[in-house]
Structure 1
Amino acid sequence: MVLDFIVVPSWRTRRWRGSGRFSSPRRHVFPIDLPGTPVLVATVTDSAKSLSPQEWKHREIAEKVWLDARENFVDPTMNGLDWDLVKKDLLSRRLHTKADLYASLKWMLSLLNDPYTTLLPPADYSTFRESIEGSEIGIGASVRLRNNSSSLLPGLLNIFSPSKKPRDVELCDVLKGGPALRAGLKEGDVVVAVDRRPTSTMCIKDISDSLHGKDRTRVELLIQEAPGTFRKFSVKREKVQIDTVFSETVVVGSENKKQNVAYLQVREWSKNSFKESVRALGGFLAEDGNPVDALVIDLRDNSGGVLPDAIEFTRLFVRKKGAKLVNFVVRGEMSSSVVETSTFASVRDAILDLQSGTKWRRKSAVSDRIPICVLVNQHTASASELVAAALRDNCRATIVGTKTYGKSSIQSVVQLEDGEAAFKLTIATYTTPLGEPITGIVPDIVADYLPKGKRVAAHIFPRLAGKLSRKLSTCSPPP
């Protein structure tokens, strides 16, 4: 998953109140306000009187998207454009069909020259919704560029969807028990062709889209097993449930000095990630009745996702009232107050997914005094970078791995009134609690090619235990 985003109910204009924070008065969502539906007044000209009811509806939708962009796009200058003239041009375009509407909206949003602001046509929006709900119809695997860019997770990869043709594409995040694994595919397999189309002629987004489709249909992958050696795989697409959190524990150290190390991997930030993390951390508390001596949080290849879940996750470990987690920059100005842990009880209550009557306990799976290690790599991006920076700056964790991707903008995802498509709009940027821009987080301890799963916990502890403890002892949290 590859973006920090907020899912917004259809057609509620969102405004920054100027009070130093975002609010959510009725439904969700963090961090924007949804005060009500705008009233649109249109002047009926002679030429407009002949429009069909469908064309009128399309004009109304187009004008609402235009208004949303004007009031909420991160750049108040609208990329230096006269946005009123853009509106006139937009409404003068042919809007007879939905295809006309989508093309016109895509054109308008492209004028903002922001790679993260775009239209999500029905197919992309459907995949997007499946992804944030924690399920998808596909082969149970994702793709990424080998030694390049970011891990491209289903439904969210178009945030990083360059048109540049990749050289080597490999499978990643191959789900246990999924169609790809059952067919004999594994993580790291180099994909040479999809349905007989060479990947060298496709952009990375098209490659990933090809892995998804209708239930019970098949896709053919050509895999390079060795130089000059290839093998075909026919994989049936099916609905698969994606567990975003994986956890286990391992005992490390000598017989005389054992450590109980917990390992927690978060693959992506979906609507279920916070719930799954709470369950996993609760399991760590209960296991054998023994306390956890150390915790490894693995955010490698986690390229972002649902922002509220990522922030709630951070709050499990940074619990001091008034602790800074992030600084938001809205429309070119720093918010008058930073987000604090004391605000997140109301934020959590505002998230519909957590309004299930469940009483979430406020205690972490680990003591505030034991070391936490956060693993990152070049595929760690967006909300995952926010989590890593917040834990580091608040002296709760040491970052280990390689430099992260570097993305610090937030998008809202708004469904169009037709219920089939949506658009993404960049509404804010953020910095670390210490005020540093996120252009790629440099780890405290550089370590490449670390193993996955509990093997990495056994590898890091006790080898790096001394360095982790010293790093935390010399850390100063933000004022």
Structure 2
Amino acid sequence: MSAWLTLPPPSQTLRPQLFCNSRVNSTTWVEKTLAGALSGALSFGLLISLPSAIALESPSIQSPLSPSQVCRDVEREKRVDTGQEMATNEGIVEEAWQIVNDSFLDTGRRRWSRESWQQKKDDILSNSIQTRSKAHQIIRRMLASLGDPYTRFLPPEEFSKMARYDMTGIGINLREIPDENGNIKIKVLGIILDSPAHSAGVRQGDELLAVNGDGVQGKSAFEVSSLLQGPNETFVTIQVKHGNCGPVESIEVQRQLIARTPVFYRFEQTDNGATSVGYIRLKEFNALARKDLFTAVKRLQDMGASYFILDLRDNLGGLVQAGIEVAKLFLNEGDTVIYTVGRDPQFQDAVFADTSPLVQAPVIVLVNNKTASASEIVASALHDNCRAVLVGERTFGKGLIQSVFELDDGSGVVVTVGKYVTPNHKDINGNGIEPDFRKVPAWSEVSQYLTKCTIPQQG
């Protein structure tokens, strides 16, 4: 499975692609997305943005299914159900090789080409691989040869920790897939083995029809993911159609949330009680970031907050889509959130806010040199659209997007698949974002600064 993240070096429009795996009779290898369900202007696998390892999420991506996916074939169904039992050492290595071959974006080092990558595969697989440990060592060396600090191998125990980015709470990744008539279907393209959904009978390729009796037609994958969320260990009933030609079934699934709230907030009064401020600290962009921040803003507004401080200091990132959805809460409809670009020029796109802002009041965004990836998406989106001023230190400078893919033995690979630029068309990768103020200014200065600000032209 794959997920998009935005992370700093180790210590999504991008369209996730369907990859071919020669070990399964060259049928389409569906991305096994770990946790990120992207929608709206973006659609990601698991996109994570962390300065120390990964980067996830980009604009709405829709990947039509190949003819071979019209009905699930027996071989692929066996593969999904048995998982690790079918994994071979050579197969794991080839699987990692194929992911890089289909999705890796060389961001300027020019160490990758299809010809040299094919030769590497031929060299590696010319001999048998005796142990799983050896297979993992080969994958590590293979990825290291790319010279990309963000592309790396995840052993099973580390990959399992990515479950905190599950945006549904039941272990599936949803994508918006157009049918032959152009209608959008919500499909399960990514499922965590032994997750609540998998154990309850949901399978790769299933179409999601309803959540708790409410149809999902017309809703985005992100909206449907939000409907699936709920308190830990509570139940949600989903109606799915198995494959494109199977039966319709109602399945009750118990939620199993791994993520903890990344939001802390408080109400403050300054200037001898004359100014009411809502302070919100956001520690990472996990599956609960948008939902919990929305709740915090509403409660602070009810308390009377007329100004807001969004603290993104030391926030290394997380899910790209979560960052985008958080930024949209503060932007006017039609404002540009980010521009994204991948290896294939046709996957270049812009992400726009599609609703009215939750907050109209002036905002201060606190940043420092550990504000990275998804945090920089939010900071630049609010800044460039004249919704906030930035206060503190120059940000980390992580403008690359990674996708996380699960391999057949429960390990995973993190691969750089794209990059993004700000609404003002600035490439922050390696550069960071310079704040407007070093110290917190008076609110009158903030209002004056935003009044003089010019919103960038789209395009």
How would you bin the TM-score normalised by the shorter chain?
A: 0.5 to 0.7
Distance in 2 (CA, whole Å) between partners of 1:464 and 1:278 is: 26
Corresponding residue for 1:442? 434
Determine which structure has more spread, i.e. the larger CA radius of gyration: 1
Tell me how many residue pairs correspond in the alignment.
313
Corresponding residue number in structure 1 for 2:359? 366
Note the alpha carbon deviations across 1:447-468, whole angstroms, 9 max, x for none.
3xxxxxxxxxxxx4xx521221
Distance 1:131 1:318, change over 3 A: closer
% identical equivalent positions? 30
**1:98-120 Cα shifts (integer Å, max 9, x gaps):** 21221121121111110100110
When the two chains are superposed, the root-mean-square deviation of aligned CA atoms in Å is 3.6
AA at the equivalent of 2:418: A
Partner of 2:321: 308
Q: Distance in 2 between matches of 1:305 and 1:383?
A: 6
CA distance in 2: counterparts of 1:67 and 1:429, whole angstroms:
21
1:122, CA displacement in angstroms?
1.4
Residue of structure 1 in register with 2:73 after alignment? none
The whole-number CA distance in structure 1 between the counterparts of 2:413 and 2:120 is: 17
1:148-163 superposed matches below 5 A:
none
Relative to 1, partners in 2 of residues 1:326 and 1:24: Cα closer, same or farther, differing over 3 Å? closer
Deviations 1:349-399 (A, max 9, x none): xxxxxxxxxxxxx664532xx210000011111110111001000000000
Gaps of 5+ in 1: 15-20, 40-52, 136-238, 343-361, 448-459
* Secondary structure of the structure 1 residue equivalent to 2:444: helix
Q: Using the alignment, how far apart are the partners of 2:118 and 2:386 within structure 1?
A: 48
SS state at 2:112 partner:
helix
Check whether the contact 2:369–2:394 (CA below 8 A) recurs between aligned residues: yes
What CA distance in whole angstroms lies between the structure 1 residues aligned with 2:343 and 2:260?
35
- The answer to whether 1:65 aligns with 2:105 is no
Q: 2:112 aligns with which of 79, 82, 95?
A: 79
SS in 1 for 2:387: coil
Q: Residue 446 of structure 1: SS of its match in structure 2?
A: coil
- Aligned with 2:298 (options 282, 294, 310): 282
The question of whether the paired residues in 2 share the 8 Å contact of 1:9 and 1:414 is answered with no
* Higher RCO by CA contacts (8 Å cutoff, separation 6 or greater): 2
Deviation at 1:89, TM superposition (A): 1.5
- Does structure 1 conserve the Cα–Cα contact (< 8 Å) formed by 2:399 and 2:427? yes
What residue is the counterpart of 1:156 in the other structure?
none
Equivalent position of 1:108 in the other structure:
142
* TM-score normalised to structure 2 length: 0.61
Q: Give SS of 1:411's match.
A: strand
Within 2, Cα distance between the matches of 1:241 and 1:83?
37
**1:430 paired residue among 420, 432, 437:** 420
TM-superposed CA distance for 1:59, in Å, is 2.4
* Code of the aligned partner of 2:435: P
User: Counterpart of 1:92 in 2: which secondary structure?
Assistant: coil
Q: 1:341 aligns with which of 349, 353, 363?
A: 353
| SS at 1:404 equivalent | coil
TM-score normalized by the length of structure 1: 0.58
2:329, 2:359 within 8 Å by CA — same for their partners in 1? Answer: no
In 2, distance between residues paired with 1:443 and 1:3? Answer: 20
Shift of 1:295: 0.4
Aligned runs of 1:86-105 on 2, under 5 Å?
86-105=120-139
Unaligned runs of 5+ in 2: 20-28, 33-40, 46-55, 69-83, 170-256
Superposed CA deviations along residues 249-292 of structure 1, whole A, max 9, x for unmatched, are 1111235xx121101110011111111111111212322xx3x2
How far apart, CA to CA, are the structure 1 residues paired with 2:111 and 2:344?
12
User: Would you say 1:375 and 2:383 are equivalent positions?
Assistant: no
The residue aligned with 1:12 is 30
Matched, 1:408 2:399: yes
The correspondence for 2:7, drawn from 3, 6, 9, is: 3
Given that 1:393 and 1:478 are in contact with CA atoms closer than 8 Å, whether structure 2 keeps it comes out as yes
Q: Which runs of 4+ in 1 moved over 6 A?
A: 4-10, 53-56, 131-135
Are 1:74 and 1:332, in contact at CA under 8 Å, matched by a contact in 2?
A: no
- Residue 294 of structure 1 aligns with an amino acid whose one-letter code is Y
Listed as ranges, the matches of 1:65-464 within 5 Å are: 65-75=96-106, 79-80=112-113, 82-130=116-164, 242-254=260-272, 258-287=274-303, 290=304, 292-321=305-334, 323-331=335-343, 333=345, 336-342=348-354, 364-367=357-360, 370-418=361-409, 420-438=410-428, 439-447=431-439, 460=440, 463-464=441-442
Matched-pair contact (CA < 8 Å) for 2:283–2:315:
yes
Distance 1:116 1:400 in 2: 28
Q: State the AA in 1 paired with 2:7.
A: L
Amino acid at match of 1:244: P
Name the counterpart of 1:470: 448
CA distance in structure 2 between the aligned counterparts of 1:301 and 1:8, rounded to whole angstroms: 32
